[in-house]
């Protein structure tokens, strides 16, 4: 795998065995958590985590009404990519509160997932 980014590389290594990762979803509205980018003006980010525990640790404060939801790699590739691309959403990899977070273009993130799906 030709990933230069350590954060993405660590994410992929964790996700590879289960072929799944985690996001936050509002159980009432079924809306997924989308936040403002830390690094880019007027850009929306979908935070994703490689473990359920990491995602769960963010279900507090302003996100306390959200719950952790699994996204399988196959579902990501089949359903998510096109919609997120149309909405110009980028991906926050293993998002942290109030810190600089790794934000990736959807294509770069998805390419890394495609590489592990092929294994």
Structure tokens at 3: 């990933």
Closest among 19, 14, 30 to 78, alpha carbons compared: 19
Residue 9 Cα distances to 26, 42, 58, 92, angstroms: 28, 27, 22, 14
CATH, domain range 6-117: 3.40.1350.90
Distance of CA 10 to the CA centre of its chain: 13
pLDDT digit string (tens) for the chain, length 119 residues: 334 588 899 999 999 999 999 999 999 999 999 999 888 889 999 999 999 999 999 999 999 999 999 999 999 999 999 999 999 999 999 987 656 678 999 999 999 999 887 65
Ranges of each domain in the chain: 6-117
Beta-carbon contacts of residue 64 (< 8 Å; ≥ 6 apart): none
Q: Let me know the angle formed at the C-alpha of 70 by 1 and 109, rounded to the nearest 5 degrees.
A: 30
Task: Find tokens 């998510």 and name the residue.
Answer: 80
């Amino acid at each position: 795998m030709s990933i230069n980014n350590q954060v993405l590389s660590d994410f992929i290594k964790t996700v590879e065995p289960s072929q799944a990762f985690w996001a936050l979803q509002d159980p009432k509205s079924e809306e997924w958590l989308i936040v403002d980018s830390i690094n880019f003006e007027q850009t929306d980010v979908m935070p994703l985590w490689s473990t359920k525990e990491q995602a769960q640790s963010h279900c507090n404060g302003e996100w306390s009404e959200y719950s952790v939801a699994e996204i399988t790699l196959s579902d990501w590739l089949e359903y998510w990519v096109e919609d997120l691309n149309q909405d110009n959403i980028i991906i926050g990899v293993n998002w942290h509160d109030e810190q600089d977070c790794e934000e990736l273009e959807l294509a770069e993130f998805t390419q890394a997932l495609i590489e592990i799906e092929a294994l």
